[in-house]
Structure 1
């Protein structure tokens, strides 16, 4: 019996409501809440969508494999940090940042906004939090504000993360083969004298410019929101005012990144906005702080419960450049292995472990171990220990203790992350059931189209955000919803390029409220059972981004129409 669209949409959203009530309402830890939410998803998939048990099991297996990849990234990031801590290099890094400023509001902009943004541009897929969060904790930040900051910045930089993957792979794959998209690409290409692949690249570039312009304007307030919310949630006085005191510096930090970010989108293409913006912005920011520009008056701000960090004192023979060298090497290797213009990426991607027909179903997965950030993290950790051990007199058994400590940090995160990703995979692969319904996320999106009609642009960023929050990936959200957004835009007479751009911007913001991103960011510093609190806090960034994006679109369209 066919169910009504309203009832079907309600059943599709039910597992998400279960997760929300348990995490946000009852404040259960994710390691308790997510197994129940997974069971609810499985029940709906089997009982309503008619998904075969073997298919649901295969989707769960696919989720487990993806979860293992995510866990390997967490482990690698923790291993590198604890290696540097054991060698004494982390203490030198802390001293170098304190020389820039002892004010935590300044440090969070430098480490989370700029350094985290750079890692996002190079690697994406949750890597910024895996590096920036433990680094902030190592610098003396309490765990919760460090996790919050690592998650809060995963919006503006994400659309061009991993050298433009969300656009060049996500949107491109989502629109590939669609007659309307191909016709529009040909039309745009004809105007520029482009054909075929060049015309398609021109279509993506046109969407990318709209994405970049939107982020450049909406993202201007993200550093200020980051600092103000951090002082409100975690300061001794729980004060917005203490964060707003650095409004000049926060706005400068935003402009220092976003002006070159937008220029790179116009002049260089979608691979470079986040990379160029964060690099140029870091240089400008450090110069400004060292010269005392835009800094607030008074004593440097700190947390009431800030930890001096139990670090081994740096050996005098470990200078600042040597201490930062491992992270610089990580950044370099991430760029070399991800930029499509360089040959190393294609060589590494050829090393594939293909897993076809999981459990005899149509589901499959390709493992590319050499392209995982964890491979780089572990390799640099080994090299760092070998290099520093002779300078500070460490034995091989000291490195064994680093591995054991890193594994101990990882273990509590396994259940929450495993069930979170398994839930997502069952949710996304629910369209192969005997009832022939579309997948659960597409059912939700289609019902939203019926509710909003011609006002669809109001909902477009939220749909992108929902996709990313579920899948933990702006790239996957764009794959899933770009064509839907394009077709809806054609039906309501809106500009399809703008609607797809709204999808991508919302998808970027959705990373701030993705459950398994929260679990992963918490795991790298050994923090657990606070996922609901973090989601409520990062939710303000997400809400701001959605509202500001819609208002900006309304203004832009109004100006064009007039």
Structure 2
């Protein structure tokens, strides 16, 4: 397969769509609904005018993008519905009050949810579910929406590779042809180090070094345990349980750490209204106005999230249930397409969307169940159904537009060879220092597709080939690839859009980035 020559000019053209999105979102603070279409237009024009893409190739790439977009927005709409169901009952305020009683320390509250709990959810759930669950909980504690989403995006990223029942790591095995036992040590080592780094950044973005000084004992204890448990499970072959087990161990250790005098005697500073990046956080209230002034008991407030974890776990771990739920799916086979340079995308199926077994479907089941529960128990006021529907639609539509454009951009770049030119250029420039560049190639893949799994699909063959040609340790380079893809999840616009839509940060994704 051939692409245009990998030179500086072609490399700059290949990076132009990504640069367009980043500059508009970060530099000009555009939202995804404007920056996404701009990046898509640049990608389509360059694919056609410079990289040899014909109309059939562009058409196939966009149809694949539509299927992938459906896969993602199923989660967006369902997560938004669950968030509105819970919020209208006043459950988020109850959760915030409960965590306040567990520990009065603001920094530890942030760590508990953004770093530990979200990593635990990532262990069993897939794309964006952890962000959709954890961000509203932090907002209920009084953290601003921008800070809450940023902290959660950073905090969970170390757990992505072995999360989702090990899907990204299993893809690494499949694409490389190497055994999981050979690949696991490097991946586990690098991700163990980044576990501590992610926790450190979570507390630092709150109040800088003051937060770090307060949190370092908890960071060191919990981070070491989570990293060690993940590594232990990974090296003995329990790849699908490594992320889940690490998160579970973190929750257990955190339950002990919060009892330390250091974290019980600090007056709480987070239950007041604050402002970060121009977005205000809601004041922690006793109850939602729509709940008629009644406060939902803590056990009932957290029940939707606990039930969701059980439902997702059952759907993943029980083969018979997984089979039943995934019998009906939206899928399509696509023909082989080729650029005028000879870059070929093979024929095959696109991303299938399970109608009843998708993560979005599981979220929707829980949303419907607890809508009925809260309504039956009298926690809803009049007109609640209309409010939930209106707020769900209003919050989900802009995110859906953004997602369609960004995924379309990524697919056009992939099918025209632009993505390959980007990665190949980095590898050629790096030479003997390629091992230092390899995680950024993994990060690039995750940024474009919103998925470490997809990053491994696209770039593992390239990384493996480059390591062999340069005489580098292939296992170390592949470990860096999947670690970079895992960490890239924190800046992937597709994931940030999921979290932003859930908490009403429409067109404010640039602030989070």
Gaps of 5+ in 1: 176-180, 186-202, 233-239, 431-438, 536-562
Provide the aligned length of Structure 1 versus Structure 2: 492
Tell me how far 1:337 sits from its aligned partner: 1.6
Instruction: Quote the offset at 1:528 in angstroms.
Output: 3.1
When residues 390 and 532 of structure 1 are mapped into structure 2, their CA distance, relative to the original with a 3 A threshold, is closer
Aligned to 1:54: 56
- Quote how far apart the aligned CAs of 1:132 are: 1.0
Partner of 1:420: 406
2:63 pairs with 1:28: no
TM-score w.r.t. the length of structure 1 is 0.81
Gaps of 5+ in 2: 275-280, 339-346
- Check conservation: 2:312, 2:359, Cα contact below 8 A: yes
Contact 2:96 2:138 in 1 (8 A): no
Structure 2: how far apart are the matches of 1:332 and 1:511?
24
Change (3 A) 1:367 1:71: closer
Alignment partner, residue 436 of structure 1: none
**Structure 1 vs Structure 2 CA RMSD:** 2.6
Which deviates more, 440-449 or 395-404? 395-404
| 2:255 equivalent in structure 1 | 286
Match of 1:320 in 2: 298
Q: Distance in 2 between matches of 1:267 and 1:4?
A: 44
Q: Is the 8 A contact 2:115 2:155 kept in 1?
A: yes
**What pairs with 1:12-23 in structure 2 (closer than 5 Å)?**
12-23=14-25
Instruction: Return the offset for 1:77.
Output: 1.5
Please say if residues 165 and 316 of structure 2, whose CA atoms lie closer than 8 Å, have aligned partners that are also in contact: yes
- Corresponding residue number in structure 2 for 1:405: 391
Match of 1:510 among 451, 464, 488: 488
Superposition map of 1:523-538 within 5 A: 523-535=501-513
The aligned counterpart of 1:5 is: 6
Equivalent residue number for residue 487 of structure 1: 465
For 1:272, the equivalent position in structure 2 comes to 241
d(CA) in 1 for partners of 2:288, 2:195: 38
Q: Report the Cα distance in structure 2 between the residues aligned to 1:149 and 1:504, rounded to whole angstroms.
A: 21
CA distance in 1, matches of 2:387, 2:146: 26
Note if contact 1:224-1:251 (Cα within 8 Å) is conserved in structure 2.
no
Shift of 1:21: 2.2
Aligned with 1:224 (options 194, 197, 200)? 200
| 2:105–2:266 contact (8 Å) kept in structure 1 | no
Q: Aligned-pair distance for 1:268?
A: 5.1
| Structure-to-structure mapping, 1:189-204, within 5 angstroms | 203-204=179-180
TM-score by length of 2: 0.89
Alignment check: 8 A CA contact 1:228 1:243 kept? yes
1:182-214: CA deviation from partner (whole Å, max 9, x where unpaired): xxx5xxxxxxxxxxxxxxxxx123212221122
2:115 is the counterpart of 1:103: no
User: Deviations along 1:514-537, whole A, 9 cap, x unmatched?
Assistant: 1222222211111134333322xx
* Residue of structure 2 equivalent to 1:455: 433
Q: Residue 294 and residue 429 in structure 1: after superposition, are their counterparts in 2 closer, same or farther (change >3 A)?
A: farther
Is residue 313 of structure 2 the alignment partner of residue 344 of structure 1? no
Distance 1:22 1:391 in 2: 47
Give SS of 2:161's match: helix
1:4 CA drift (Å): 3.6
Query: Is the alpha carbon distance of 1:68 and 1:158 closer, same or farther for their aligned partners in structure 2, counting shifts above 3 Å?
Result: same
Secondary structure of the structure 2 residue equivalent to 1:299? coil
Match of 1:208 in 2: 184
